[in-house]
Amino acid sequence: MNDGGVAEPTRQPLAIRRYGAAPEAGGHAYLLIHGFGGSSFTWRGWAPALGALGTTYTVDLTGFGDAPKPGKGPYDLPTQADRIVAFARDRHLGAMTLIGHSMGGGVALLLATRLLDRPSVDVRALVLVAAAAYPQRLPPFVGLSRHPRLTRGLAKSIGLRRIVKTTLRSIVHDPSSVDDAQVDAYTAPLESEGGLEAAMATGRSIVPPDLDEITAKYPRLTMPTLALWGDADRVVPIWVGQRLARELPRAELHVLEACGHVPSEERPDASLAVLLDFLERYELAPPTRRNP
């Protein structure tokens, strides 16, 4: 992805791209975490702009994008969260603004709750984009993970690219907006060695067994929080964002019109404007460098 990002070495089984200058020890960074089946590609409309404001990292979680896809995993969300914490420690980050989409929003919430009692890194703010946060009905593309034989059969009979295209068209507000570049970017990691198996393993462990204990900690998350949703989200319903806005002490909900599950791709300029306004109001971005 030739968008100005630089591949960042890491000891963790993640793939990291950095935008902007390398951080100073103890400095602040924006860290973006994609959703199920996604990758850093999700953030192509946001990452360069954030990199102009400060150190920005996009994360391909283990099993997705360019990250390793080990046969035995593990792919559970607590482990994914711990890998990100370990990366932050390796880079000596003092503070992070965590930005997570869908499953990645769930990872961001989990990471923030796990740091409550061992604050080795300061989570300065949360940006939860259509974030998985509470028990809910799993969307079909995640539910298929529970049926690996059926999933492999469908992949063989109709092809992963067709499945990806149909899935993307089903989760956005305007199906005609899904283009070949999106389909190719979401399909390629699944077609790579171990990619489909990693996605299915993640789907089977996507709901932490202690989810009730995790959600009970949300009221302790006192950092500024932006919940950003599309009004036509059929994957993570808007009641999730509304509940987050009620239960997190400093959370606010912003709903984009004519938008489905992927605001950063469907409405990149409008969603970025909401994000930058939030960051500026809480002095997490320099206002003099914001694009009009």
CB 34 within 8 A of CB 8: no
Mean pLDDT of the chain: 95
pLDDT beyond 50 at 292: no
Q: What is the pLDDT of residues 233-249, one digit of tens each?
A: 999 999 999 999 999 99
Band the pLDDT of 2: cuts 50, 70, 90.
low
CB 21 within 8 A of CB 29: no
**CB-side neighbour CA atoms (13 Å) of 164:** 22
pLDDT beyond 90 at 112: yes
pLDDT of amino acid 291: 45
In this predicted model, which residue has the larger pLDDT, 280 or 287?
280
pLDDT of amino acid 290: 45
Show Cβ contacts of residue 264 under 8 Å, excluding neighbours closer than 6 positions.
42, 43, 45, 46, 101, 129, 271, 272
Structure tokens given for 165? 């295209």
Return the closest-CA partner of residue 214 out of 119, 83, 111, 137.
111
pLDDT of amino acid 200: 96
Gap between the Cα atoms of 219 and 198, Å rounded: 33
CATH architecture under which domain 6-287 falls: 3-Layer(aba) Sandwich (3.40)
Q: Which amino acid is at 201?
A: A
Stretch 277-286: mean pLDDT: 93
Q: Are strands 56-60 and 225-230 parallel, antiparallel or unpaired?
A: unpaired
Band the pLDDT of 279: cuts 50, 70, 90.
very high
Band the pLDDT of 130: cuts 50, 70, 90.
very high
pLDDT of amino acid 285: 87
Strand ranges of the sheet holding 56-60, from the earlier edge strand across to the other edge: 6-8, 15-19, 56-60, 28-33, 95-101, 122-129, 225-230, 251-256
Structural domain boundaries of the chain?
6-287
What is the share, in percent, of the chain residues with pLDDT greater than 90?
90
Q: pTM here?
A: 0.95
